[in-house]
């Protein structure tokens, strides 16, 4: 049966058409009258038709318009909630599909000057400037986002370090895909943005600094001073280096002669020669003051671990959970090169704790770009195999481990700000 496309109409501030085939109808968001936004395209994922510049928002699978007549495709959860509860939306769909809804009229986009046909979403080279990311995935679905906090996870293409110290992405630079002008990273093509519930056990951070014991006896320190003198003079040429070395040697020799018995020096080097410190003690009845000190050896990288339990309440939520699981499985897996000779690095992840107003949570720590180091799915977490009628699991548990790519530096902590910082 031929598809019948309705005249354009407005719902809220968005323009639509319906495409009916007699039994079902697609509610399609069109750019005519009101251009598509980047947020809509990102949320739509595969339901965005780039060639036509439109999004299949939802499907009317029950043209009798009974309960739950509408199923979600590329629409947001908020729009679906309104479409299923606001009678004006149902009336508009009835009119568009020829079901003769009573007492209904709606405005065509062409009748409003403010909804004039927009220019194409292209840059100066004629290429699309819209987001190329995947859809927005969320668990649980159909919740009031303004009343809940979430963990937001985005995947980014991994960019290898460069050896050029001038490009901001050197071996010592921070890897931060949120700063695209700095290191030219970008969201992974087709990757989703995932919103997950706050997991109490995962809301921990710990930063460690490595300090190791180190020894330096007087004789070794003396020779270190000699070597340091040579290095200091090297900047002025070989003659200066030799001169500095001789001066340091003379001073070191005088210091050792004044402080240490020559027999002790001989016993010290005898022990060094055979690699046995005990020889010095056997010969002198002494031990060298090793000037034991705790010295900084470098920072550690932070890790974050999360455990989520997914329990689908309906078919749509079950589909959403499967998409979330496949997103993590795909994003953390390495890519194989075209000739299959090399494995390319998996995607990296940006994690954010989102407050109910949509911003970074002010009382939880920020997280630098991470790699996903472990992903585990338990399909029967309750100890027994249970499915719904369609075969989908009644519950899943997912464990995720992330490791930051860069350490936390002093400059990352702004004590004057009102948030927790890193």
Report whether the peptide linkage leading into residue 140 is cis, meaning its omega lies within 30 degrees of zero: yes
91 has pLDDT over 70: yes
User: CA-CA distance, 293 to 211, in Å (whole number)?
Assistant: 10
117 has pLDDT over 50: no
Is 256 or 214 the better-scoring residue by pLDDT?
214
Instruction: Write down the pLDDT at residue 127.
Output: 38
Q: Report the mean per-residue pLDDT for the chain.
A: 76
User: CA-CA distance, 94 to 27, in Å (whole number)?
Assistant: 11
Model pLDDT for residues 40-60, shown as the tens digit of each residue: 888 888 889 988 999 999 999
Q: What percent of the chain has pLDDT over 90?
A: 25
Is 117 or 358 the better-scoring residue by pLDDT?
358
Distances (CA, A) of 104 to 28, 91, 268, 301, 406: 20, 7, 102, 61, 59
Mean pLDDT of 374-399: 91
Instruction: Write down the pLDDT at residue 338.
Output: 80
Instruction: Write down the pLDDT at residue 124.
Output: 33
What string of DSSP letters covers 256-297?
HHHHS-HHHHHHHHHHHHHT-THHHHHHHS-------EEEEE
Model pLDDT for residues 64-75, shown as the tens digit of each residue: 777 678 888 888
Give pTM, 2 decimals: 0.57
Distances (CA, A) of 153 to 24, 318, 371, 382: 35, 19, 12, 27
Sign (positive/negative) of CA torsion 279, 280, 281, 284?
Answer: positive
Alpha helices in 164-237 (DSSP H): 180-183, 218-234
* Least confident residue range of 38-42, 171-175, 177-181, 205-209: 177-181
Q: What percent of the chain has pLDDT over 70?
A: 67
């Amino acid at each position: 049966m031929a598809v019948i496309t309705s005249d354009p109409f407005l719902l809220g501030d968005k323009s639509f058409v319906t495409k009916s085939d007699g039994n079902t109808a697609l509610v399609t968001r069109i750019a005519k009258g009101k251009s598509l936004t980047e947020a809509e395209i990102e949320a739509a994922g595969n339901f965005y038709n780039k060639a036509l510049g439109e999004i299949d928002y939802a499907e009317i699978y029950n043209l009798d318009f009974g309960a739950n007549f509408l199923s979600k495709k590329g629409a947001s959860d908020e729009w679906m909630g309104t479409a299923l509860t606001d009678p004006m939306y149902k009336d508009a769909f009835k009119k568009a599909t020829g079901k003769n809804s009573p007492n209904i009229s709606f405005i065509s986009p062409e009748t409003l000057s403010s909804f004039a046909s927009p220019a194409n979403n292209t840059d100066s080279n004629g290429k699309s400037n819209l987001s190329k990311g995947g859809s927005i995935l969320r668990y649980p679905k159909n919740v009031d986002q303004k009343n809940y906090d979430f963990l937001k996870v985005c995947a980014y293409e991994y960019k290898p370090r460069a050896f050029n110290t001038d490009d901001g992405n050197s071996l010592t630079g921070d890897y931060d895909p949120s700063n695209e002008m700095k290191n030219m990273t970008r969201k992974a093509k087709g990757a989703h943005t995932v919103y997950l519930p706050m997991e109490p056990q995962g809301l921990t951070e710990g930063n460690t600094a490595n300090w190791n014991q180190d020894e330096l006896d007087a004789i070794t320190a003396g020779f270190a001073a000699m070597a340091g003198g040579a290095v200091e003079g090297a900047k002025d040429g070989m003659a200066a280096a030799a001169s500095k070395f001789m001066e340091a040697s003379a001073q070191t020799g005088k210091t050792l002669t004044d402080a240490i018995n020559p027999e002790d020096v001989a016993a010290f080097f005898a022990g060094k020669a055979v690699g046995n410190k005990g020889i010095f003690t056997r010969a002198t009845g002494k031990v060298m003051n090793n000037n034991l000190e705790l010295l900084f050896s470098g920072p550690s990288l932070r890790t974050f671990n999360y455990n989520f339990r997914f329990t689908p309440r309906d078919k749509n939520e079950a589909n959403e959970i499967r998409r979330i699981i496949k997103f993590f499985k795909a994003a953390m897996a390495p890519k194989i090169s075209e000739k299959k000779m090399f494995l390319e690095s998996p995607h990296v992840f940006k994690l954010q704790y989102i407050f109910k107003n949509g911003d970074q949570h002010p009382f939880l720590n920020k997280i630098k770009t991470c790699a996903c180091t472990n992903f585990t799915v338990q399909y029967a977490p309750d100890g027994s195999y249970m499915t719904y009628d369609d075969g989908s699991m009644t519950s899943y548990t997912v464990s995720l481990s992330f490791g930051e790519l860069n350490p936390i530096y002093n400059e990352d902590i702004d004590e004057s700000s009102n948030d927790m910082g890193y």
